[in-house]
Amino acid sequence: MIQDVVTRTTSAADWPSIRKAIHSRIYYSMGEFPASGRGPWKTVRKYQAHGLEHEDGTFEILPGWSCDGTIVYPQETGKNRCPAAVCIHETDSELYRFNCLSPDKKPDRAYGIELARRGYVCIAADQYGFGDWAKGSSEQGNYDKLAREFPSWSLDGIRLLIQRRAVDILSDHPFVDSKKIACIGHSLGGRTAVYLAAFDERVKATAASTGVSPNSTNVFRNCTTDPADSKSPRLNEGVLKTGIPAWEYEELLSLVAPRGLVLLEPFNDLYNLDFEAAVACVMKAASVYKLLSRPENCALICHGRGHDTPAEMRNYAYSLVDRSLGFENRKMGTA
């Protein structure tokens, strides 16, 4: 159920302990994270595309588990450190991370190209189950592999780890201002962007398109009737025992406060029919921003373009991300 995160009697001094409890509960629901190090970025090739320098590479997220990624550079680097963005792709088995880097094929998803044209260093990494992860295996085969090797972990957990490693790469990059890192994504990418912002405070601004899908109204995305389901065993177990999800999206969103958060939500999304529930989650989280005296850092943009990220919405979101990062030397993002 969607409930208040804070009440009229909650003070700003109360928030750290409330936040800690929410953080622990949601983090626990993702399962037991395996020990891991910060695998270095290894360049595979460099090339020009869409008028920008691209660098394909790979990085280790766990011993023996590596992920492919692409870094896109703005036209001017080296003089001053640039802001940076983690660009997270949606469900796309054909383009995977290039979903965010292909204005010719996905003009409404090419965040990495548009933000690079605005002056950002951008990285896009393959979400687990896509790209090289999927070679020689079915979608279910990938889930089964994860369950075999890490039975106490979850799909959300490994996808969060991949994007946190992407933040590591940006934070260590000589062209990047590590205090100005953002993330952006659509659909599955929007959901993952919210997780990343909630659990990595190095992310100072987030833009998530169709990323708010309340557990209480769309719980099938996380849970099944099979206790051995590999996508999110702990979350699944809790729902089967109590009938109630361990957490709700207003709590997840509140973990981002008071950092910049821009949410783009259509009122006619066929993949998330309960628009009112999504708005209620955002409004409950916005109360935390108000409590922390930063209401301007939480924005909800509603539109009627369905499961999409139209250009006028993207550019507005980009401007709010720029503002949250204190970045003004920008260029227009659309081609």
DSSP per residue, 58-110:
EEEEETTEEEEEEEEE-S--SSSPEEEEEEE--S-TTTGGGGGS-TTT-TTT-
Which residues does residue 299 pair with via DSSP β-bridges, in sequence order?
A: 262
Mean local confidence (pLDDT), 16-38: 92
**Confidence at residue 291, expressed as pLDDT on a 0 to 100 scale:** 98
Would the pLDDT of 254 be above 80?
yes
Would the pLDDT of 239 be above 90?
no
Q: How confident is the model at residue 221 (pLDDT cuts 50, 70, 90)?
A: low
Would the pLDDT of 335 be above 50?
no
B/e letters for 37-74, b = 16+ CB within 10 Å, e = fewer, are: eebebeeeeeeeebebebbebbbbbbeebebbbbbbbb
Q: What is the pLDDT of residues 93-142, one digit of tens each?
A: 999 999 999 999 999 999 999 999 999 999 999 999 999 999 888 878 88
Residue ranges and CATH numbers for the domains of the chain are: 12-324 (3.40.50.1820)
Q: Do residues 184 and 72 lie in contact, with contact meaning Cβ atoms separated by under 8 Å?
A: no
**302 token code pair:** 């509603």
Q: What is the pLDDT of residues 298-328, one digit of tens each?
A: 999 999 999 999 999 999 999 999 999 999 7
Mean local confidence (pLDDT), 175-191: 97
**pTM assigned to the model:** 0.94
**Confidence at residue 124, expressed as pLDDT on a 0 to 100 scale:** 98
Q: Do residues 262 and 317 lie in contact, with contact meaning Cβ atoms separated by under 8 Å?
A: yes
